[in-house]
């Protein structure tokens, strides 16, 4: 993610967090804190959700939720701003996820938004804010919504992971297993409403801890070559750590320990939401780098590592723009090894490939960083370069010719002696600007003339007189 987008993320989260903190700090000072009776304790809850309040029958309440009504009110009045800030920050991250889904049109952002929505719903039911704002006077509805939201959170976490980690192509067996788990978790919701409490109870607890095991899935994807998993892995580790700390804290036999214990899970959940959003940015950046590498490979010749014909066409436009800025003429040089078919007949295709690699090495050594060298044909190379004077460009061309002739290629214990012929033309200058096809035709005409005059030479195309000798041995009589 860019610096600007990172600042925007931070500003949006802080703004909604501050708004939520202010919104919660005011009404609780005058309103009534919602109080849970023992009738709400019948629903199965995960270890981090076992906090419930009782005004009577305290002996029936588990030790990790031994707060009376006064204790609950004191706690609710002491910490409303913190809860409001948490919900505000989570809502901000949810909105950013939806914004990413709309702007980037990527389904993984939709899955991220769904994950946060179900997390918010589960925490609303667990903390009492849902009963206070969303379904007032329906205390028993909390347990049903908590169960369904927890199961749906696990389903959304698995769906997000399948998409984010590209489990389909990278881990097909794991992908199918996760799909089966999702179906089982969805079945748990149906079991809950059909009266099969025990089965739903098991799935509920499994759903609560299942996301904490997702770093293992990230490690498996990493082994398959997926490298943008750091933020994803740290996010789920933070989430699991929050659950573990909450579970450990609720085991303390102190009445005040239970409500504060939830803060660990809430902190882990908030870190999860932030880090997953950053992981989405890392994924987007990784996709961009991958596309750039793919583009580079598409413009690269696999044998020599130089550019190919596609790269030549793209670079020609860049040279045209350079000339418009600095006025320095652009030259096109076509190069062809002499007697290349004879080299293949004598040394085989392996020897021919070695000779072409040798020529590409010569081009890299002599040509400048701002020049462009490509493999233009099976045994033909092209060079685009700028030079103030035509003689400067011709000196570069003749150096290429001379060095290739003086550095034979070693292949299977034998030395392959070779030469080349080259044709050059002025492609872009103050007098005229050729399109690439016309520039290639003129340079090719000069190259053919170099072959006709005895090879191992450089010829320059002249618009009026045609190709003229410009480097190498004199023409054969």
Average pLDDT over residues 439-461: 93
Position 29 pLDDT exceeds 50: no
Per-residue pLDDT, averaged over 233-245, amounts to 89
The stretch 44-70 carries a mean pLDDT of 38
Beta strands in 393-444 (DSSP E): 409-411, 414-416, 420-428
Report strand pairing: 458-462 vs 420-428. parallel
Burial 2-35 (b: 16+ CB within 10 A, else e): eeeeeeebeebbeebbeebbebbbeebeeeebbb
Q: How sure is the predictor about 470, in pLDDT bands with cuts at 50, 70 and 90? A: low
Q: Element (H or E) spanning 471, and its range? A: strand 466-471
User: What is the pLDDT, as a whole number, of residue 132?
Assistant: 78
Question: Given a cut of 70, is residue 115 above it in pLDDT?
Answer: yes
Do 107 and 159 meet the contact criterion of CB atoms below 8 Å apart?
Answer: no
pLDDT for 31:
40
Res 395 pLDDT > 90: yes
Domains of the chain: 3-297 (no CATH), 309-471 (3.30.70.270)
What is the mean predicted confidence (pLDDT) over 321-345? 93
- Enter the tokens of residue 283: 């994924």
Q: What is the pLDDT of residue 15?
A: 52
Contact 470, 391 (CB under 8 A): no
pLDDT tens figures, 219-231: 988 888 777 888 8
> What's the pLDDT band for 401 if we cut at 50, 70, 90?
very high
3-state secondary structure the chain: CCHHHHHHHHHHHHHHHHHHHHHHHCHHHHCCCCCCCHHHHHCCCCHHHCCCCCCCCHHHCCHHHCCCHHHHHHHHHHCHHHHHHHHHHHHHHHHHHHHHHHHHCCHHHHHHHHHHHHHHHHHHHHHCHHHHHHCCCCCCHHHHHHHHHHHHHHHHHHHHHHHHCCHHHHCHHHHHHHHHHHHHHHHHHHHHHCCCHHHHHHHHHHHHHHHHHHHHHHHHHHHCCCCCCHHHHHHHHHHHHHHHHHHHHCCCCCCCHHHHHHHHHHHHHHHHHHHHHHHHHHHHHHHHHHHHHHHHHHCECCCCCCECHHHHHHHHHHHHHHHHHHCCCEEEEEEEECCHHHHHHHHHHHHHHHHHHHHHHHHHHHCCCCCEEEECCCCCEEEEEECCCHHHHHHHHHHHHHHHHHCCEEECCEEECCCEEEEEEEEECCCCECCHHHHHHHHHHHHHHHHHCCCCCEEEEECCCEEEEEECCCCCC
The pLDDT confidence band at residue 69, using thresholds 50, 70 and 90, is: low
For 354-365, give one letter per residue: b (16+ CB within 10 A) or e.
bbbebbbbbbee
Cβ(379)–Cβ(341) below 8 Å: no
Q: Is the pLDDT of residue 37 over 90?
A: no
Q: What is d(CA 72, CA 66) in angstroms, rounded to the nearest whole number?
A: 10
Lookup: tokens for 235? 């996010």
Distance CA 91, CA 27 (A): 19
On whether the pTM is more than 0.85, the answer is no
Tens digits of per-residue pLDDT, 93-103?
999 999 988 88
Q: Which of 207, 200, 206 is nearest to 151 (CA)?
A: 207
With bands split at pLDDT 50, 70 and 90, how would you rate the model's confidence at 77? Answer: low
The enclosing H or E element of 385 equals strand 381-386
Q: Is 457:401 a contact under the CB 8 Å cutoff?
A: yes
Q: What is the pLDDT of residue 251?
A: 65
At 394 the pLDDT is 93
Q: What is the pLDDT of residue 170?
A: 84
Confidence of residue 71 (pLDDT cuts 50, 70, 90): low
Contact by Cβ (8 Å): 41, 57: no
- Say how many CA atoms lie within 13 Å of 316 toward its Cβ: 23
Report the distance separating Cα 247 and Cα 337, nearest Å. 75
150 falls in which pLDDT band (50, 70, 90)? confident
Characterise 367 by phi-psi region: left (phi > 0), alpha (psi -120 to 50), beta (else). Answer: beta
């Amino acid at each position: 993610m860019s610096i600007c987008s990172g600042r925007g993320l931070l500003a949006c989260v802080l703004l909604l967090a501050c708004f939520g903190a202010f919104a919660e700090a005011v009404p609780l000072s005058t309103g009534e804190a919602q109080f849970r009776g023992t009738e709400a304790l019948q629903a199965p809850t995960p270890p981090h959700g076992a906090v419930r309040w009782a005004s009577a029958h305290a002996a029936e309440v588990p030790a990790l939720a031994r707060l009376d009504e006064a204790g609950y009110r004191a706690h609710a009045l002491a910490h409303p701003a913190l809860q409001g800030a948490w919900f505000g920050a989570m809502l901000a991250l949810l909105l950013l996820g939806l914004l990413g889904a709309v702007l980037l049109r990527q389904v993984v952002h939709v899955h991220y938004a769904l994950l946060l929505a179900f997390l918010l719903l589960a925490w609303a039911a667990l903390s009492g804010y849902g009963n206070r704002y969303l379904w007032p006077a329906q205390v028993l509805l909390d347990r049903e919504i908590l169960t369904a939201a927890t199961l749906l959170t696990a389903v959304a976490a698995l769906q997000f992971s399948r998409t984010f980690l590209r489990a389909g192509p990278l881990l097909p067996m794991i992908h199918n297993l996760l799909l089966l788990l999702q179906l089982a978790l969805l079945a748990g919701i149906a079991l809950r409403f059909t009266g099969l409490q025990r089965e739903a109870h098991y799935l509920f607890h499994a759903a609560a801890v299942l996301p904490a095991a997702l770093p293992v899935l990230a490690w498996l994807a990493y082994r398959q070559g997926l490298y943008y998993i750091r933020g994803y892995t740290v996010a789920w580790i933070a989430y699991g750590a929050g659950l573990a700390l909450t579970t450990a804290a609720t085991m303390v036999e102190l009445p005040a320990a239970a409500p504060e214990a939830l803060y660990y899970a809430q902190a882990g959940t908030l870190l999860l939401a932030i880090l997953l959003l950053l992981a989405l940015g890392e994924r987007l950046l990784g996709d961009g780098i991958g596309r750039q590498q793919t583009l580079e490979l598409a413009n690269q010749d696999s044998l020599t590592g130089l550019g190919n014909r596609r790269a030549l066409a793209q670079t020609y436009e860049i040279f045209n723009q350079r000339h418009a800025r600095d006025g320095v003429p652009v030259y096109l040089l076509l190069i062809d090894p002499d007697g290349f078919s004879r080299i293949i007949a004598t040394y085989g295709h392996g020897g021919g490939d070695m000779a072409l690699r040798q020529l590409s090495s010569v081009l890299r050594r002599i040509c400048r960083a701002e020049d462009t060298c490509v493999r233009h044909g099976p045994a033909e190379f092209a060079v685009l370069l700028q030079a103030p004077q035509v003689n400067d460009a011709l000196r570069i061309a003749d150096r290429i010719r001379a060095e290739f002739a003086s550095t034979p290629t070693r292949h299977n214990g034998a030395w392959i002696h070779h030469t080349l012929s080259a044709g050059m033309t002025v492609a872009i200058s103050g007098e005229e600007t050729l399109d690439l096809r016309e520039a290639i035709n003129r340079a090719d005409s000069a190259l053919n003339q170099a072959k006709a005059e005895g090879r191992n030479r450089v010829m320059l195309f002249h618009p009026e007189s045609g190709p003229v000798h410009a480097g190498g041995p004199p023409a054969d009589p």
